A and B are shown apart, each in its own frame.
Chain A
Amino acid sequence: MRHSQTLLAALVFVLTVGLSWLGWIDSYTQLVIMFVGVNIIMSSSLNLINGYMGEFSVGHAGFMAIGAYTASILMVLFFSKDSVFGPGLLPAGWAILFFPMMLVAGGILAMLVGLLVAIPSFRTRGDYLAIITLAVNYIVKSAIENIQSIGGARGFMGMKRVINGMQAVLDAPWMMIWTWISVFVTILLIKRFVSSTYGKGIIAIREDEIAAEIMSVNTRRAKMVAFMLSSGLAGIAGGLIAHILGYINPGSFTIMKSTEALVMVYLGGMGSLSGSVLSAVLFTLALELLRPLQIIKWVVVPLLLILLMLFRPEGLLGQRELTDVFPGLRRIFGSKDGRSKEGTHAAV
């Protein structure tokens, strides 16, 4: 059953996209499904740093903001008539082709900002690195607030026009499609990365940095790659959420957003990719289900999490993967041994 993972992914894709295309699920449900996808990207990319590498990054939302603003500005600049940027440089219909490129461009810029964290991480780690990530988050937010031409603290909009331009060409749920494609790419990327030599090096850094270095892990390079990959993926998540909502402002990429991502990582378990996916789904759905409670929601959710921490301090799955908890699933997801063998072959 080697292809069953691909089949599962295809099933999710066809179900979500198909049902929204046919209009069988309302736009609110579609929105929640897209949020689930974005949160999966956020939690699994943060897990790379906080789980696999054992660092403590508390500023993931900053990278999300960079990606969101870059992708949105590029899309609006090229494909939409805007009061600031003037008429679109290219016909609106081309947006379909260029959207993934702009998404990746946002990711690349977020990656470069990730260097701000990666370079200090050579010399410092733990709580001191946490503060650097926190400072980067504040700096990004504050910088965006001070650039008036992209709206400053008022926020930036116009992405809905871009989406409308895409839908004028072909009336498809474009954001749903791109969200799920990004999710699958992210999961595949992280899964392959973690079982590659780089990934093994990162896990070695978590266990013991000095020992890893002695065992010829290039710790600087491994850290840099991990931070850049993680922040780049967060940037892509940002680009997605900007186009899903059609409006972004710096206030939505605060430490609160970073905390949400942190919670998802620790809820699922550090260093467990399937845990991150599972907890992103559960957390997003729980937040939506508890919406009628209004403000009490934000008392109930932390309380539930504290209880979870008390009774299961290592998160839902701990460091294990879903296949370790339910061995029966191994038939679907492929055995762990097989995967690590693939990893060594790739390395050789």
Chain B
Amino acid sequence: MTLAIFIQNILNALQWGSFYALIALGYNMVYGVLLLINFAHGDVFMVGAYVAFFISTFLLGMYAIQPAWSLPLGVVLVLTFLLTMAITAGVGVTIERVAYRPLRRKGASRLYVVITALMVGLILENGNLALLGASRRSFPELIPKVIYNVEGVSFTNLKIIVIIVTLLVFIFLQRVVMKTKWGMAMRAISYDRVAVPLMGIPVDAIIIMTFVLGSSLAALAGILFAVSYPVLEPYMGALVGWKAFISAVVGGIGDIRGAFIGGFILGFTEIFVATIFPSTYRDLIAFGILLLIMTLRPTGIFGVARRTKV
């Protein structure tokens, strides 16, 4: 493997790691607050990509009903990002309100909420399939692709954008969780669920805030994914979602840094396994390594073992 190919692969790994990390963040935030594995999250990512598709094609004037004036590409891009994140956040909050909250109110076992989450994911996938049909859709080119070639390493501007956006999101989230009052409330809920409402913290508002953040991040990942790999299909969220969940757990579920590190670990493992071995071995070896990590460090890299009091 020459140095150029090595750097090329690092860039690929960083890009895939970014997708996993962005989705894993949503898993981690919801888990931190609710102790719920939100299995519908991968499909929220898919919803984000589809919403972005419809908004951008509408704004670009590809339908019979056209916007009143034609917009320059930059404005379309910004509007697509903002509207998609807002609408997907709405979807996430709706799922929470309709499916999870009533169960929580009833004090149902946590595992039943997980099953409900799985079912919500199935509904999103197959509902999409039933409504929009099985035909794949190609995403419009919102960001014109530029290919750079430096010393034999070729990369697109999209790759760089994905990696930079993910890093910015990480810094932003880390600040939100560590420095703001909302973030403090989130951490407090995951630390002690019983005492927090007694301190006058509106738990439901914090939970909604968490879902808004998590879902809009999934939407962001959806747009970036669709821009980089412009083919949409209803099941695109399923496998990516499961893998992001795995990376969240490897990093240590319930910790922002964990989601990031986990996402990049999975990205690097997958890409480098695929370069060294035949690419069909990718899942086998990647999951084998993850299994090993989990066996050696059962609570993930940043996870703290919860001590059980006797």
Chain B 114-151 residues near chain A, CB threshold 8 A = 114-116, 118-120, 122-123, 125-127, 129-130
Chain A 151-174 residues near chain B, CB threshold 8 A = none
Given A132-B291, A139-B288: A305 and B114 within 8 A (CB)? no
Give complex CA distance A56, B112 in Å.
11
Q: Does A347 contact B (CB under 8 A)?
A: no
The stretch from A37-45, A80-88, A117-125, A323-331 touching chain B is: A117-125
- A310's nearest neighbour on chain B, judged by CB, is B102
Given contacts A123-B298, A263-B118, 9 further A-B contacts (CB under 8 A): A50-B111, A56-B111, A128-B298, A143-B284, A211-B310, A299-B126, A299-B127, A302-B122, A306-B119
Q: Does A224 contact B (CB under 8 A)?
A: no
The stretch from B3-11, B61-69, B160-168, B242-250 touching chain A is: B242-250
Q: Does B253 contact A (CB under 8 A)?
A: yes
Give complex CA distance A211, B118 in Å.
32
Contact B127 A124 (CB under 8 A): no
Contact B126 A124 (CB under 8 A): no
Chain B 225-266 residues near chain A, CB threshold 8 A = 242, 245-246, 249-250, 253
Contact B129 A295 (CB under 8 A): yes
Given A124-B298, A132-B291, A211-B310: A305 and B249 within 8 A (CB)? no
Give complex CA distance A209, B284 in Å.
33
Contact B249 A128 (CB under 8 A): yes
Contact A135 B109 (CB under 8 A): no
Give complex CA distance A255, B115 in Å.
13
- Taking CB atoms, residues of chain B closer than 8 Å to A56 are 111, 114
User: Residue A119 contacts which of B114, B287, B295, B308 (CB distance < 8 angstroms)?
Assistant: B295
User: Residue A124 contacts which of B123, B125, B284, B294 (CB distance < 8 angstroms)?
Assistant: B294
Q: Does A104 contact B (CB under 8 A)?
A: no
- Taking CB atoms, residues of chain A closer than 8 Å to B112 are 266, 309, 313-315
Chain A 283-337 residues near chain B, CB threshold 8 A = 295-296, 298-299, 301-303, 305-306, 309-310, 313-315
Give complex CA distance A263, B249 in Å.
23
Closest 9 CB pairs of A and B: A124-B298, A313-B108, A302-B119, A298-B126, A142-B284, A142-B283, A131-B249, A302-B122, A135-B287
The CB with the most chain B CB atoms within 10 A, among A124, A141, A211, is that of A124
Interface size class of B (residues with CB under 8 A): 35 or more
Give complex CA distance A170, B277 in Å.
49
Give complex CA distance A263, B117 in Å.
11
- Taking CB atoms, residues of chain A closer than 8 Å to B288 are 139
- Taking CB atoms, residues of chain A closer than 8 Å to B253 are 127-128
Q: Tell me if A's interface is mostly helix, strand, loop or mixed.
A: helix
Give complex CA distance A190, B283 in Å.
34
Q: Does A136 contact B (CB under 8 A)?
A: yes
Given A299-B127, A313-B103: A116 and B291 within 8 A (CB)? yes
- Taking CB atoms, residues of chain A closer than 8 Å to B300 are 128
Contact B115 A263 (CB under 8 A): yes
25 A–B contacts from the bound complex (CB under 8 Å): A50-B111, A120-B294, A120-B295, A120-B298, A123-B298, A128-B298, A130-B37, A131-B250, A132-B291, A132-B295, A134-B242, A135-B291, A139-B287, A141-B283, A146-B280, A146-B281, A211-B310, A259-B122, A270-B111, A298-B126, A299-B122, A302-B119, A305-B119, A309-B103, A313-B109
Contact B294 A262 (CB under 8 A): no
- Taking CB atoms, residues of chain B closer than 8 Å to A21 are none
The CB with the most chain A CB atoms within 10 A, among B103, B122, B290, B295, is that of B122
